[in-house]
A = this chain, B = another copy of it.
Amino acid sequence: MQDHDVVGIGNAIVDIIGQCDDAFLARHRRTKGSMQLVDAITVAELYDAMGPGIEISGGSAANTMVGVASFGGKAAFIGKTSNDQFGEVFRHDIQAAGVTFTTPAAAGGEPTGRSLILVTPDGQRTMNTMLGVSPQLGSQEVDAGLIRSARILYLEGYLFDRPQAKAAFRQAAEIAAKAGRQVALTLSDPFCVDRHRPEFQEFVRASVDILFANEAEIASLYEASTFEDAARRAQSETKLAALTRSEKGSVILSGGKVVEIAAAPVARVVDTTGAGDLFAAGFLFGVAKGRDIETAGRLGSLAAAEVISHVGARPVANLAELARRQRLLA
Q: Which residues of A contact B (CB under 8 A)?
A: 16, 18, 47-48, 50-57, 66, 84-86, 89, 92-94, 96-97, 111, 312, 314
Contact = CB atoms under 8 A, between A and B. Distances in A.
13 contacts: A16-B89, A48-B92, A50-B96, A51-B96, A52-B57, A52-B66, A52-B92, A52-B97, A53-B89, A53-B93, A53-B96, A84-B85, A85-B85
A190 to B, nearest CB: 29
A22 to B, nearest CB: 18
A296 to B, nearest CB: 25
Contact of A56 (B50, B54, B85, B96): B54
Contacts of A48: 92
A92 B54 contact: no
Interface SS majority for chain A: mixed
A111 B97 CA distance: 26
B52 A96 contact: yes
Given A52-B57, A53-B92, A312-B54, A85 B111 contact: yes
Contacts of A92: 47-48, 52-53
A80 to B, nearest CB: 17
Given A48-B92, A52-B94, A52-B314, 15 more contacts: A16-B89, A47-B92, A52-B66, A53-B92, A53-B96, A54-B54, A54-B55, A54-B56, A55-B55, A55-B56, A55-B89, A84-B84, A85-B85, A85-B86, A85-B111
A16 B53 CA distance: 13
Contacts of A314: 52
Nearest to A94: B52
A314 B54 CA distance: 11
A54 B94 CA distance: 12
A84 to B, nearest CB: 6
A277 to B, nearest CB: 15
A280 B105 CA distance: 42
Contacts of A86: 85
Contacts of A85: 84-86, 111
Contacts of A53: 89, 92-93, 96
Interface centre among A57, A89, A97 (most CB of B within 10 A): A89
A111 to B, nearest CB: 7
Nearest to A49: B96
A94 B50 CA distance: 12
Contacts of A84: 84-85
